[in-house]
Amino acid sequence: MSEREQPRRGAYRVFYPVSTRWADNDIYGHVNNVVYYAWFDSAVNRYLIEEGGLDIAGGTIVAFVVSSGCDYLAPVTYPEAIEVGMRVDRLGNSSVRYGVAIFRAGEDTACAHGHFVHVFVERASSRAVAIPGGLRAALDRLAA
């Protein structure tokens, strides 16, 4: 897919609803770019917690973000209902690259799309470890 091509909803496996907030808008009248990264982070971690059993508070394995990026294709504003779509683009031994996109609720083309990379580490040492079985199975279900 070219950088400026608008991804379609069918390219993503799971969606999480989000409502824009008044505070999300910037001086230009649209949602500020940093908010998109918060939406990506929230959707990915929600999936890992709910579907993969990740224990963010007390687990011995955690996921660190090591790379992220986003292409903005159409502005999102307040008030709007949006959805964060996600998929797995690459699943390695200790890392995963997600494809993420922002859609207006019910629309087929993305307003923004990007990537988000996690490396799974042992909490105490911060050293990379193999992705645990339950998390790997959940991530396999999102493979593009």
Domain ranges of the chain: 9-140
Residue 32 token pair: 């500020």
Residue 10 DSSP code: G
Q: What is the DSSP string of 17-52?
A: EEE--GGGB-TTSSB-HHHHHHHHHHHHHHHHHHHH
Q: In angstroms, how far is the first alpha carbon of the chain from the final one?
A: 13
pTM score: 0.93
Enter the CATH code of domain 9-140. Answer: 3.10.129.10
Cα(39)–Cα(16) distance, integer angstroms: 9
Residue 2 pLDDT class (50, 70, 90 cuts): very low
pLDDT above 90 covers a percentage of the chain that reads 95
pLDDT in tens, 17-52: 999 999 999 999 999 999 999 999 999 999 999 999
